[in-house]
Chain A
């Protein structure tokens, strides 16, 4: 495990060439409430970075600012060097409550991003088909969301995000509405997809185990107003089997260390 709190502030001034997403001096005020205070972060390309913190620390707010869904009060977000002014095709979002269209089949939901881009029906269905298979939902193409379990619905949400072929995937607590057993399976599948798709992932979670298990890099935010408290890069052998990782010394130590750091925020 490598702790790079000091390095983080240095990176703020010098633009790093391999950063897919750069966050510079982001502040967010909601009326009188300060949600985020001068956040400076780089998200390296091709890596999975987790935003972790106590509830109400503004991690989802930061993710939605990066997505362009809500405006920051001050500061700037750059994706591939271009400043963010709103949602864009190089970013795809996975929602906590899945946000599937209940009137549309799995196929149409997965292909929805392409439909909005004006891709022809045959082409977008072919792409959607590929990702439906990749998330393990083959045979469910013509089902409706209400016919699927929570875990399966989120697989649809994930396939939809992959289908638009964005460089950056933003995942807002994607497994929090999924039951424990499905979540573990889902985390393992996600790691496989991270390996396969070579995209930049930004992942919000409140689960320490989930963060350590999935992440190349963990950004810990402090309680309101949210600030970067610590950046941790767990050094875990990802080539090992999922069960071996969960019993790995480094994994367990990292979980413990993060818990010790976060404990003081829990009342």
Chain B
């Protein structure tokens, strides 16, 4: 990026906003906005506390279990829908409803079904993430050229090997894009789930800090969460870039 003829580094805008935050914080405009430096100090001591570590572990666990389920179910459903018009007709309408539905509204119902614990959070992550994975996988499977599949068959790949050696690999760019978008939604799912259940993991800490107007710790928690979500997304994007080159030449 260049501005007024000077080359501005990538992170410049982020840095500028951090400085604005610090200044506003130091001016004491509102107790809601403590100086950024205080927040960072709070973050540093927060990550060393047992309660944060336990919360992070619970959260990560719910997130990973929910995501693993979402990826497995999402890819299987997506492949079924991409390959069979019967499955597509049966499931298409539901997937399209759920992918755009405000699922947060369902969490209270999930709490009744699955109790006030981790299971509800896992199910929330799953429900937030799975639909976009289904849709992207379906799109990827449908983009697999017919001739590539015929090639596999004519050289002796039948049944499962046709999927493992040709179809899934050919659809990989879209499947990975679906997983990345699913992860972003899954992070929302884990936070919303825990906030509503509010007695476990990150949600409990959020409740605690915001109720006591402990804004340093509240913002510290938020920043750590944002950084983790962006890190995850960047990780998948990195894998995506390695297979992207062949999406156009399949």
Do A and B associate with each other? yes
Q: How many residues of A contact B (CB 8 A)?
A: 26
CB closest residue in chain B, given A117: B156
Given A113-B156, A116-B165, A117-B156, the answer on whether A93 and B150 have CB atoms closer than 8 Å is: yes
Q: Which residues of B have CB within 8 Å of A68?
A: 154
What distance in Å separates the Cβ of B109 from its nearest Cβ neighbour in chain A? Answer: 43
Contact check, B154 vs A103: say whether CB atoms are below 8 A apart.
no
Given A103-B243, A116-B161, the answer on whether A87 and B147 have CB atoms closer than 8 Å is: no
Is residue B241 within 8 Å, beta carbon to beta carbon, of the partner chain?
no
Contact check, A112 vs B155: say whether CB atoms are below 8 A apart.
yes
What distance in Å separates the Cβ of A87 from its nearest Cβ neighbour in chain B? Answer: 4
Q: Which residues of A have CB within 8 Å of B166?
A: 101
Contact check, A92 vs B155: say whether CB atoms are below 8 A apart.
yes
State the total of A-B contacts with C-beta under 8 angstroms.
Answer: 62
Is residue B250 within 8 Å, beta carbon to beta carbon, of the partner chain?
yes
Contact check, B243 vs A89: say whether CB atoms are below 8 A apart.
no
Is residue A151 within 8 Å, beta carbon to beta carbon, of the partner chain?
no
- In chain A, positions 60-109 with a C-beta closer than 8 Å to chain B are 64, 67-69, 86-87, 89, 91-93, 95-97, 99, 101-103
Counting contact residues on chain B (CB < 8 A from A), the size range is: 20 to 34
Contact check, B157 vs A67: say whether CB atoms are below 8 A apart.
no
Contact check, A97 vs B147: say whether CB atoms are below 8 A apart.
yes
Contact check, B150 vs A99: say whether CB atoms are below 8 A apart.
yes
Q: Which residues of A have CB within 8 Å of B246?
A: 102-103, 144, 146
Q: Which of B147, B153, B155, B250 contacts A164 (CB 8 A)?
A: B155
Is residue A145 within 8 Å, beta carbon to beta carbon, of the partner chain?
yes
- In chain A, positions 133-165 with a C-beta closer than 8 Å to chain B are 144-146, 160, 164
What distance in Å separates the Cβ of B140 from its nearest Cβ neighbour in chain A? Answer: 13
Contact check, A116 vs B249: say whether CB atoms are below 8 A apart.
no
Question: Chain B at the A interface: mostly helix, strand, loop or mixed?
Answer: helix
Given A116-B161, A116-B165, A146-B249, the answer on whether A99 and B156 have CB atoms closer than 8 Å is: no
Q: Which residues of B have CB within 8 Å of A116?
A: 155-157, 161, 165
What distance in Å separates the Cβ of A15 from its nearest Cβ neighbour in chain B? Answer: 26
What distance in Å separates the Cβ of B207 from its nearest Cβ neighbour in chain A? Answer: 47
Is residue B41 within 8 Å, beta carbon to beta carbon, of the partner chain?
no
Is residue B151 within 8 Å, beta carbon to beta carbon, of the partner chain?
yes
Most chain A beta-carbon contacts within 10 A, residue among B161, B169, B249: B249
Q: Which of A96, A101, A117, A146 contacts B148 (CB 8 A)?
A: A101
Is residue B145 within 8 Å, beta carbon to beta carbon, of the partner chain?
yes
Contact check, B147 vs A145: say whether CB atoms are below 8 A apart.
no
CB closest residue in chain A, given B152: A116
Is residue B94 within 8 Å, beta carbon to beta carbon, of the partner chain?
no
Contact check, B154 vs A91: say whether CB atoms are below 8 A apart.
yes
Q: Which of B147, B154, B161, B250 contacts A102 (CB 8 A)?
A: B250
Contact check, B155 vs A113: say whether CB atoms are below 8 A apart.
yes
Is residue B245 within 8 Å, beta carbon to beta carbon, of the partner chain?
yes
Q: Which residues of B have CB within 8 Å of A99?
A: 145, 147-148, 150-151
- In chain B, positions 163-204 with a C-beta closer than 8 Å to chain A are 165-166, 169-170, 172
CB closest residue in chain A, given B153: A87
Q: Which of A67, A97, A117, A146 contacts B154 (CB 8 A)?
A: A67
How far, in angstroms, from A113 to B148 measured CA to CA in the complex? 13
Contact check, B154 vs A69: say whether CB atoms are below 8 A apart.
yes
Contact check, B169 vs A93: say whether CB atoms are below 8 A apart.
no
Q: Which of B151, B161, B165, B250 contacts A93 (CB 8 A)?
A: B151
CB closest residue in chain A, given B247: A102
CB closest residue in chain B, given A93: B154
Q: Which residues of A have CB within 8 Å of B155?
A: 87, 92-93, 112-113, 116, 160, 164
Given A102-B250, A116-B161, A146-B245, the answer on whether A92 and B154 have CB atoms closer than 8 Å is: yes
In the A-B complex, the 7 residue pairs with the smallest Cβ-Cβ separation, listed nearest first, are A102-B246, A99-B151, A99-B147, A113-B155, A146-B249, A93-B154, A116-B156
Q: Beyond the given A93-B155, A103-B246, please list 6 additional residue pairs across the A-B interface where CB-CB is below 8 A.
A: A69-B154, A102-B246, A113-B155, A117-B156, A144-B246, A146-B248
